[in-house]
Chains A and B, each alone.
Chain A
């Protein structure tokens, strides 16, 4: 096989750098490991770029990736560690890092970015970004995610979840027993296998819930002006208490018709089906409330 000189040069460079993409002068490749307790508490600060966390079955932390125009600092002990990407020169650079961090399965993380995207698989923790997107998958003990205007996507199973965004889109699929989902103007879409206790709220964003509820549970839906849509299983038992102060209720779930509120400006509907079941309370100031059958 004949190789051009250029190809040979690239191949040599590739071998010299471990076979990965060629680094720019300001880039630093990261490949570090640290021993860590199985339930280590980890804080990560990476303002821009991306951070991906994965759980694994080892008592150690592995950090791989690249840092551009900055430096990665890591410190702490087996029980508590911090990883941060910063500009140590004080020259006001904007460091960018693309990191993959593997953590013990029992770890609890706290991740903060400004624009950096966050992704985590099977990792319990608190994820916070100003405008980066957050995507959480897998199984976790608890998940908390906040982004000012980034989208948040959950495709996970966790008993306890708290997610907030301002104008981003919340997409929540999975199984969550205790769920809080909140947005200011962003839409909230939930496809849930079951929820026992929940609160879904938005100011002007629409809320769309498709799923089941656990018997004996209690779920509240609040919106100021967005449309709240509940797609419910036909066999659902429980009580639905719906009020739109100055908006309307569109019931396609049963034949019941809403009545006017005391002032006449809005509508109310109180349904009870079967015994036991879930208690669902829906409140809207001036939006529409819709009940549909799954």
Chain B
């Protein structure tokens, strides 16, 4: 069964404050004309997706916060280059991916992957429902992956980019990306078993 590429168009999460979907093309046009007031609803409509990406790619809430804000600032800077060839959410997502990867490469020190000691004492004594438990496990396990493996897994298996697209983002050969992806999957299966 092929893994279908997921649509990367941003959709508001159910139950979010945005009760109606904004007219994104109209807002984009206003932002391109310099109206910062029009940028706020775009931010609110897309921030969840961007934050999720930054969080998963970095495994670090502090950096995810900084990167999310940087993404929107960059979006504001470069929105003039958005020509509507794709959905705005798709374009924004690519801006986010590029920024996260740039920042990662520029970081001098790799984050250590540390299993928080506190979680041993905080483990619930009553097991959560199977599905939620598994989801939390997956997110936690993703955060323990080595950076490159984590990035490729998030981009391919969660966000739906192809190997070629990821290779273009990262500047690495598709074969190398496949190796990282396979490794990520192996590590996750091991940790989740």
Residues of A within 8 A of B121 (CB): 73, 75
Does A79 lie within 8 Å of B120, measured CB to CB?
A: no
Q: Which residues from 98 to 140 on chain B have a C-beta closer than 8 Å to any C-beta of chain A?
A: 117, 120-127
A contact patch SS: strand
Pick the contact of A77: B117, B120, B122, B126 (CB < 8 A): B126
Pick the contact of B120: A75, A78, A80 (CB < 8 A): A75
Residues of B within 8 A of A98 (CB): none
> Total contacts A to B, CB within 8 angstroms?
26
> Is A68's beta carbon under 8 Å from chain B?
no
Pick the contact of A82: B123, B125, B126 (CB < 8 A): B123
Complex: A39 Cα to B137 Cα, angstroms = 18
Pick the contact of B127: A80, A84, A86, A88 (CB < 8 A): A80
> Is A76's beta carbon under 8 Å from chain B?
yes
Residues of A within 8 A of B126 (CB): 77
B84 to chain A: closest CB distance in Å? 49
Question: How many chain A residues have a CB neighbour from B under 8 Å?
Answer: 13
Complex: A79 Cα to B121 Cα, angstroms = 16
Does A76 lie within 8 Å of B125, measured CB to CB?
A: yes
Does B127 lie within 8 Å of A75, measured CB to CB?
A: no
Complex: A76 Cα to B123 Cα, angstroms = 5
A105 to chain B: closest CB distance in Å? 19
Does A78 lie within 8 Å of B127, measured CB to CB?
A: yes
A78: nearest chain-B partner, CB-CB: B127
A88: nearest chain-B partner, CB-CB: B117
Complex: A79 Cα to B123 Cα, angstroms = 12
Complex: A77 Cα to B123 Cα, angstroms = 8
Does B120 lie within 8 Å of A82, measured CB to CB?
A: yes
A87: nearest chain-B partner, CB-CB: B117
Residues of B within 8 A of A73 (CB): 120-121
A-binding residues in B (CB < 8 A): 117, 120-127
Kindly list the 5 A-B residue pairs having the minimum CB-CB distance in the complex, ordered from nearest.
Answer: A75-B123, A77-B127, A73-B120, A76-B123, A75-B120
Sampled A-B contacts (13; CB under 8 Å): A74-B120, A75-B122, A75-B123, A76-B123, A77-B124, A79-B127, A81-B123, A82-B120, A82-B123, A84-B117, A86-B117, A86-B120, A88-B117
Q: Apart from A77-B123, A84-B117, what 5 extra A-B contacts exist at CB < 8 Å?
A: A73-B120, A77-B124, A77-B125, A82-B123, A86-B120
